[in-house]
Structure 1
């Protein structure tokens, strides 16, 4: 379905030389140097740019909410999409602050929205089924969501975007994400499951028990990635996974938000391991399981602010760090240009 090329290592030496010859002690910009190298390799240039950053927020409802896994009712998904469209949500505020366009994608909300210029109607269904009793979606629906996500991402790239952030909205989606994580990493369900919308201890235990029961009931081969996604995922998670794959196939920078986005990425990387080369991890969420998932993906997030809002908020907040990495790479003087003496250990 997708072919994702590995990054061209031929440019790595030249990029490292450029980074190391800036007027600074060797390695003194820390993670920004690693980031500048990655961005240059993704774009295959010594002078990367970040034109037209876009945040894609995928929304979908989850049938598993029927089992009582959320402190909020399912209707909040629809209500928050309305808030996004009115510009009143956290992602709207942070995206506007950092010059990022926001696209709201209805992947499968249990509500028929009137036409709106800021809403992309890509609805696969009116929410998923309750995966405690049956697969969340059919294989056909899952494959369609993956394909639709890739199409939407590649349309943004064709229109000029050089960096895509991924966010989500869907009451119940931390339950799907925890189930996907547990199956695909073989970590205990209890390590993958968090409080989501703010469950108390009893609610957290119930959520953990439900996920455990559902995994046992379906007994799916963990290597059958599409079936795992179809059984436990959400329409927004599947579409986001497809968008990530589609973006990487076009050699575009991918900005990963929190726990849900990372779970979508986990599934996508099982399909195409090279995808990880194109991903910048914005932050470590305060949702239980995210740190373990980041460790599993060998990811080093840029921020750790205790966020757990979702929506792509962490990714929007991290965007200035990508811009800073590119700015120093492109605009900071070299030792020769500035006529500054190199240290004894400089390149």
Structure 2
């Protein structure tokens, strides 16, 4: 708990003076005002995050947090749980979707076992931070204890901080965990105070009972566990997931170190909501990537007050959308550094 509290205390608001300087420079570039649209907004945000007019966003890492979910016992997914361990081992080998996309910007993939149901070999290239062998079945009781929920957040903080200390200056959030759209929808239902049928989707493959059964499981789990809407850690513990907590920790750590963090789709956005509940200043450090096909993703983004940059009809997870968005950050930084202002262009013409 001490690490979590220290991290939250270190999170400050964005550098608004630098954002004003960035906006002034952008408005003076050789182009019609606002003609580069959201690229301009992103550049201003990156300057506000880093406190630099020409931010360096060149050392990228996506932290993929892996864990299993006891609620899979309720038949909410058609995918076998052993896919989690299979894919967790596949990340260090470079064989997953996010690995393929990340190669275009040489982004590092960091894989963390927060709660995979099986043991991961220590020589597999995975960081072992296992808290427990998957969450408990939230349909029968709390998914985890409050202490375990805090531990999961602190795992994300630890791993992200270590990467930042190695020189990483932009992070992405990714996850692996069969069944994790169920706790994500449950968390969103509690935070939004809505019926789960408004935010529950197909996921990676819905179980034989269809979405109706998935909704019923979520509804019953919330009724049984009674998570406190005003206590993000209680929500995470009662109906959440270990990898969701870890991603929230990654986001908090990025904000505490004034680094941008690019979030992926539905599950990453839920983690961002948890982080934002713990410290609202984190919102300034979040860069949304793509609009997930999951119905809850749009609602979660609206609650957070962010708008995804890409519409790609994706719902893979893993951090794949974050990896795809990295080149847009590169473009925003290049615009700031390499595009001339009208004044600079006039001086060049006079030479």
Picking from 214, 231, 243, the partner of 1:207 is 214
How far has the Cα of 1:87 moved from its partner? 1.1
8 A Cα contact 2:199 2:296, kept in partner: yes
TM-score of the aligned structures, taking structure 2 as reference length: 0.95
Query: Does the alignment pair 1:35 with 2:46?
Result: no
Give the 5 Å matches for 1:144-159. Answer: 144-159=151-166
Question: 1:86-141: per-residue Cα shift (whole Å, max 9, x none)?
Answer: 21110110111221000010010011111236211111111110000111111111
8 A Cα contact 1:60 1:110, kept in partner: yes
Question: In the aligned structure 1, how far is the partner of 2:206 from the partner of 2:333?
Answer: 41
Determine the structure 2 residue equivalent to 1:271: 278
Question: 1:27-57: per-residue Cα shift (whole Å, max 9, x none)?
Answer: 0000000000000110001111113100100
Picking from 164, 180, 186, the partner of 2:187 is 180
- Determine helix, strand or coil for the equivalent of 1:339: helix
Determine the structure 2 residue equivalent to 1:235: 242
Question: In the aligned structure 1, how far is the partner of 2:124 from the partner of 2:108?
Answer: 13
Give the 5 Å matches for 1:236-315. Answer: 236-315=243-322
Picking from 20, 26, 31, the partner of 1:24 is 31
Question: In the aligned structure 2, how far is the partner of 1:64 from the partner of 1:279?
Answer: 29
- Determine helix, strand or coil for the equivalent of 1:230: helix
Structure 1 residue runs of 4+, over 6 Å off? none
8 A Cα contact 1:51 1:160, kept in partner: no
Question: 1:281-322: per-residue Cα shift (whole Å, max 9, x none)?
Answer: 001101121111111111111101000000000000010001
Cα RMSD after superposing both structures: 1.3
Query: Does the alignment pair 1:126 with 2:97?
Result: no
Segment drifting more, 82-91 vs 103-112:
82-91
Determine the structure 2 residue equivalent to 1:51: 58
8 A Cα contact 2:75 2:208, kept in partner: no
- Determine helix, strand or coil for the equivalent of 1:85: coil
Query: Does the alignment pair 1:87 with 2:75?
Result: no
Q: Give the unaligned 5+ runs of structure 2.
A: none
Segment drifting more, 59-68 vs 282-291:
282-291
How far has the Cα of 1:268 moved from its partner? 1.0
8 A Cα contact 2:78 2:208, kept in partner: no
Picking from 195, 203, 214, the partner of 1:196 is 203
TM-score of the aligned structures, taking structure 1 as reference length: 0.96
